[in-house]
Structure 1
Amino acid sequence: AIYERFEPKAAEREGRGEKDGTAGSKFNFLADLQSLEDERAALQKAVKKANIVAAVVGTSVGALVARFWGEVAPGVFFGISVYGVVSASLTASKRRNFRLNFKSRIVASIAKSFGLSYDESDGLGTDEFFEIYDCYINEQSSEDMMSGEVQGVRVRFSDFYAAEKVRTKNGTRTDVKFQGVLFVADFHKRLNCEVRVCHKNSRNLRKYGQRANMDDVKFEEFFDVYTTDQVGARYALTPLLMQRLTEVYLRLGSQINAVLREDKIYVAIETWRDNFEPRIDCSLKQDATIALYVDEIGALVGIVSELNLNRKIWSE
Structure 2
Amino acid sequence: MSDAATARGGTAKLVFTSALVAAVAVFVAAVIGSIHKSPGIGGILSGIFAGLFGGLLVMAGGAWMATKLAPKSAPAPAQSLLGEQLAAGLADVLTELEKTRVDLYTEAMERAKWRVPAGAVAGAAWWLRDQFETDPSGLFGLLMFVGIGAVAGYFWATASNSAKYTRLYKDKVLPKLAAGFGDISYRQAVPPDLEQLRREHVFEDFDESSATDELFGTYHGLDISILELSLHKRNGKNRRSVFNGLIAQITLPRGLKGTTAIIADEGVIGTVRDWMQSGPGTRVRVEDPEFEAGWQVYGTDQIGARALLTPAFMERFKALGQRAGFGKPLALAVDNRLLLALPSWSGALFKLPELSKPAANRELLVALHDAIGALLQTVDAVVDLDQTSRARVGRRTD
Do the two structures share a fold, i.e. TM-score over 0.5?
yes
Write out per-residue CA displacement over residues 11-60 of structure 1, whole angstroms, 9 at most, x where no aligned residue.
xxxxxxxxxxxxxx9974355547757848948x9599766653442342
Partners in 1 of 2:255 and 2:147 — Cα distance? 56
1:80-106 deviations in whole A, cap 9, x for unaligned? 997776443322222122212221222
What letter matches 1:193 in structure 2? G
On the 8 A contact 1:61/1:78 being kept in 2, the answer is: yes
- AA aligned to 1:250 is Q
Q: Are residues 1:61 and 2:126 paired?
A: yes
Please name the residue that 1:179 is paired with.
Answer: 244
Percent identity over the alignment is 20
Q: Give the partner amino acid of 2:366.
A: A
Quote the Cα distance in structure 1 between the aligned partners of 2:357 and 2:326.
23
Report the aligned-residue RMSD.
4.0
- What is the identity, as a one-letter code, of the residue corresponding to 2:168? N
Query: Aligned match of 1:136 in 201, 205, 210?
Result: 205
Query: 2:176, 2:185 within 8 Å by CA — same for their partners in 1?
Result: no
- Which protein has the bigger helix share? 2
Q: Choose the corresponding residue for 1:249, options 318, 321, 340.
A: 321
User: Which residue does 2:179 correspond to in 1?
Assistant: 112
Q: CA-to-partner distance for each residue in 1:117-152, whole Å, 9 max, x for gaps?
A: 322263434246545633232322112232211122
Distance 2:283 2:120 in 1: 55
Q: Residues 225-262 of structure 1, C-alpha deviation per residue, up to 9 Å, x if partnerless?
A: 22234444223211121112122333465122111111
Instruction: Output the amino acid matched with 1:122.
Output: V
Greater RCO structure (CA 8 Å; 6+ sep): 1
Could you state the TM-score of these two structures normalised by the residue count of structure 2?
0.60
Are positions 1:88 and 2:155 aligned together?
Answer: yes
Distance in 1 (CA, whole Å) between partners of 2:212 and 2:360 is: 26
Tell me, in whole angstroms, the C-alpha distance in 1 between the residues paired with 2:269 and 2:125: 45
- For residue 223 of structure 1, report the CA deviation from its aligned partner: 2.5
Q: Distance in 1 between matches of 2:296 and 2:117?
A: 51
Match of 2:166 in 1: 99
Give the 3 Å change call, closer, same or farther, for CA 30–63 of structure 1 in structure 2. Answer: farther
1:29 aligns with 2:90: yes
Rg (Cα) greater in structure: 2
Give 1:266 shift. 0.2
Q: What one-letter code is carried by the residue in structure 2 that aligns with 1:105?
A: K
Q: Distance in 2 between matches of 1:282 and 1:176?
A: 33
| 1:115-126 superposed matches below 5 A | 115-120=183-188, 122-126=190-194
Tell me which of 174, 181, 195 is aligned to 2:260: 195
2:364 to 286, 289, 293: 289
* Helix, strand or coil at the partner of 1:250: coil
Partner of 2:175, secondary structure, is helix
Q: How far apart in 2 are the matches of 1:204 and 1:55?
A: 47
How many pairs are equivalent? 293
1:183-262 mapped onto 2 (5 Å cutoff): 183-200=248-265, 203-205=268-270, 206-207=272-273, 208=276, 209-251=281-323, 253-255=325-327, 256-262=329-335
Structure 1 unaligned spans of 5+: 9-24
Instruction: Say whether residues 1:153 and 2:218 are aligned partners.
Output: no
- Secondary structure, counterpart of 1:136 in structure 2: coil
Q: Which amino acid aligns with 1:312?
A: Q
Q: Could you tell me how far apart the structure 2 residues matched to 1:133 and 1:83 are?
A: 45
Distance 1:7 1:185 in 2: 33
- Residue 260 of structure 1 aligns to which amino acid in structure 2? A
- Relative distance call for 1:212 and 1:121 in structure 2 (3 A) is closer
Pair 199,36 (structure 1): closer, same or farther in 2 beyond 3 Å = farther
Distance in 1 of aligned mates of 2:154 and 2:235: 27
Per-residue deviation at 1:290? 2.5
Q: 2:324 aligned with 1:276, yes or no?
A: no
Deviating more after overlay: 91-100 vs 286-295: 286-295
